[in-house]
Amino acid sequence: MDNRPIGFFDSGLGGLTCIPHLMRALPDERIVYFGDTARTPYGSKAESTIRNFSFEISDFLVSQDVKMIAIACNTVSSIALSALRKRHPSIPILGIISPASHTIANTCTGENNVGIIGTKVTIASDAYPDKILKFNSDLHLHQMACPTLVPLIEEGIIEHSIMDLSIEYYLDHFIKYNEIDTLVLGCTHYPLIRKNIEKIYPKLRIVDPSKEMFTSIDDTLTERGIKAASPTISNIFYASDLSENFVNMINKIFSDSDFKVAFRNFDLDDYLR
Ligand code: DGL
């Protein structure tokens, strides 16, 4: 048993989409979340920049005595997972891409056309096709980077025609030309626009990797004997820029639960100085 929290991080509020799944699957676990809202989006930045940001955040989470780090960001998972594991060899660090790739490989066949959408860095890394094809080499995979979706989501522009037009701009031709029937939301921000996508393309089957992540978190906690049991600590959400949208999103996620939530504005520069 281990009542210490699990550390989660993302470039911003996208990783928050993982939290309701955690609450449902592992209600005794507590979290420390870090959203790098001051420096979002990550998805079009240089790999070395993203790697350095992820080092800073993981060092901070380790200083908060987390028992595990779950990378709630496809972009970081796609290019920095092994470097992060080397940096913190004493705690388990899980990415988001591998568990989802397993599900896709197990639930799709060669008759499906699977579309993967994500940031420029995630798509350029080929992390999804590399993993999925290792598990099932029969699948037909297609990828599309959608770089303007994350900034719109971070601004809270979701229930608006600008969002629907942006989705159509990236996906209309992609879906029709490749006859996509299964769409993988390869960025943790995208579950926040899942309803928009379903409204525009009602026949698509949607795979949400932020949901798939919890089987591997559960397995790792069990294997290492570090599951929590009735902890008394609160969940803590740090943001490098505590925006109104970030706070609203957290309140929305926790509105129906009796979980204790605490917010902190956190200046990584101060921490690093
Ligand atoms: N939510 C993140 C991901 O899953 C990062 C998006 C971004 O900052 O560009 O890739």
pLDDT tens digits, one per residue of 63-119: 999 999 999 999 999 999 999 999 999 999 999 999 999 999 999 999 999 999 999
Name the catalytic one among 18, 73, 108, 146: 73
| CA geometry: angle 44, 46, 49, nearest 5 deg | 115
In what helix (H) or strand (E) does residue 247 lie, and over which residues does it extend? helix 244-254
For residue 210, the Cα-to-chain-centroid distance in whole angstroms is 6
* Best probe residue, ligand 1, of 10, 153, 154, 212 (max atoms within 8 Å of C-beta): 10
Ligand 1 near 188 CB (within 6 A):
yes
Question: What is the overall mean pLDDT for the chain?
Answer: 91
Q: What are 145's strand-pairing partners?
A: 118
Least confident of 134-143, 190-199, 257-266: 257-266
Among 268, 238, 265, residue whose Cα is nearest residue 59: 268
CATH class of the structural domain 6-95+211-272: alpha beta
Reported as a pLDDT band with limits 50, 70 and 90, residue 265 is low
Quote the CA–CA distance of 225 and 67 in Å, as a whole number: 11
CB atoms within 10 A of CB 255: 7
Spell 226-250 as b/e; 16+ CB within 10 A means b: bbbeeeeeebbbbbbebbeebbebb
On the question of a cis peptide bond just before residue 92, with omega within 30 degrees of 0, the verdict is no
Ligand 1 near 42 CB (within 6 A):
yes
Ligand 1 near 17 CB (within 6 A):
no
Annotation marks residue 108 as catalytic? no
Tell me which DSSP letter residue 12 carries: S
Reported as a pLDDT band with limits 50, 70 and 90, residue 234 is confident
CATH topology of domain 97-209: Rossmann fold (3.40.50)
Can you tell me whether residue 143 is helix, strand or coil? strand
Above 70 in pLDDT, residue 268? Answer: no
Annotation marks residue 73 as catalytic? yes
Above 50 in pLDDT, residue 273? Answer: no
Expressed in angstroms and rounded, the spacing between residue 131 Cα and the centre of ligand 1 is 19
pLDDT tens digits, one per residue of 137-183: 999 999 999 999 999 998 889 989 999 999 999 999 999 999 999 99
How many C-alpha atoms does 232 have within 13 Å on its Cβ side? 0
Expressed in angstroms and rounded, the spacing between residue 118 Cα and the centre of ligand 1 is 8
- What's the pLDDT at 122? 98
Q: Whole-model pTM above 0.75?
A: yes
Domain ranges across the chain: 6-95+211-272, 97-209
Ligand 1 near 58 CB (within 6 A):
no
Above 50 in pLDDT, residue 272? Answer: no
Most confident of 176-185, 249-258, 259-268: 176-185
pLDDT more than 90, % of the chain: 76
Identify the burial level of 161 via C-beta atoms within 10 angstroms of its C-beta, where 0-12 means exposed, 13-18 middle and 19 or more buried.
exposed
156 Rama sector, left if φ>0, alpha if ψ -120 to 50, beta otherwise? left
Above 70 in pLDDT, residue 269? Answer: no
